[in-house]
Amino acid sequence: MQLWVADEERGLMRLEDGACRLAGPPGTALCAGWGRVYCAGQHACACYDRRTGETLFEVPLPTGVCGLTVLGSRLCALSSDADSVTAFSALTGEVLFSAPAGMYPRDLCASRQGRYLAVAGGAAGSLLLLDDCMRPVREYRLPGTVCGVCFLPRCLAALCAVEQGDITARLMRISFRGVKEETAAAALVPSCLCPLADGGCAVGCMGEVALFKQNKKAALRLPYPCPVRIRQSAWGPLICDACRGDVTLLNGQVVYGGKSPQDALLLP
């Protein structure tokens, strides 16, 4: 088991065999693929050998990167400052193409087949579906600010912040034909969304993490002050809480105690 944590204060931490090592500078987003781990920092994305932790290359990035994902042989970086998503070669770091991504975009997710990329268009109130060459396929209009997005077995899910006096978190399901359905709502500030292995999804809001089954019913709610990222792992959902400064599995096991974790990967 190997844990990588992008800690905004301590740096990129690599934990293996009970040892915690500084692997690189602070970062805000992680992803893994091709036997490598990628970490986006303030001005660049670094690529590390997953086995040795060696830095393989760095590529310049726009500021404000809030999401990374591997799409086939491409690495996609979403910038909330540049309002764009940029695709790089995951093997060489060569810039391939870029596309607009709404207004202050917040999240991105690749389909399991590696054919499509979904982008939470932020304040634009949209969910963008792009192909693997960053060409627009469809745009879905949603209420409020779109904070998170993920692919589910037969649809897309989006987490929205709707302001009507107070902020309400709304979980939406969108068919690929554009049929929208609100499946849950809570008077909380939404933060993150993650697909789960069972076909459901995990929703992070300021104050709690909730798990929803594929049948749309809430399965579990747990208190978390500030969940900034949820990742699926072989050991269950992995939750980064920036207020508590730790990374935990859903069963409560703390796998990292740091300063300000922004993203984490738990790898076999």
Structural domain includes residue 17: no
Q: Which residue pairs, CB below 8 angstroms and at least 24 apart, start in 176-183?
A: 176/138, 178/138, 178/140, 180/140, 180/142, 183/212, 183/216
Q: Is 67 helix (H, G, I), strand (E, B) or coil?
A: strand
Q: What is the pLDDT of residues 6-38, one digit of tens each?
A: 999 999 999 998 889 999 999 999 999 999 999
258 within a domain of the structure (yes/no): yes
Q: Supply the pTM of this predicted model.
A: 0.94
CATH code, domain with 109? 2.120.10.30
Q: Say how far apart CA 16 and CA 200 lie, in whole Å.
A: 30
- Is residue 41 in a domain? no
- Does the pLDDT at position 214 exceed 90? no
* Side-chain-facing half-sphere of 179: CA atoms under 13 Å: 4
pLDDT tens, position by position, 39-69: 999 889 999 999 999 999 999 999 999 999 9
Residue corresponding to tokens 């399965």: 219
Residue 43 lies in a domain: no
Per the structure, how many domains does the chain have? 1
Q: Is residue 240 part of a domain?
A: yes
Radius of gyration of the CA atoms of the chain, in A: 17
Could you tell me if residue 46 is inside a domain?
A: no
pLDDT in tens, 71-113: 999 999 999 999 999 999 999 999 999 999 999 999 999 998 8
Q: Coil, strand or helix: which one is 130?
A: strand
CA 71 to chain centre: 13
Residues written for the chain = 268
176 lies in some domain: yes
Closest-CA residue to 241 (of 262, 220, 255, 222): 262
% residues pLDDT > 90 (the chain): 88
- Domain span including residue 214: 56-267
For residue 18, tell me if it sits in a domain: no
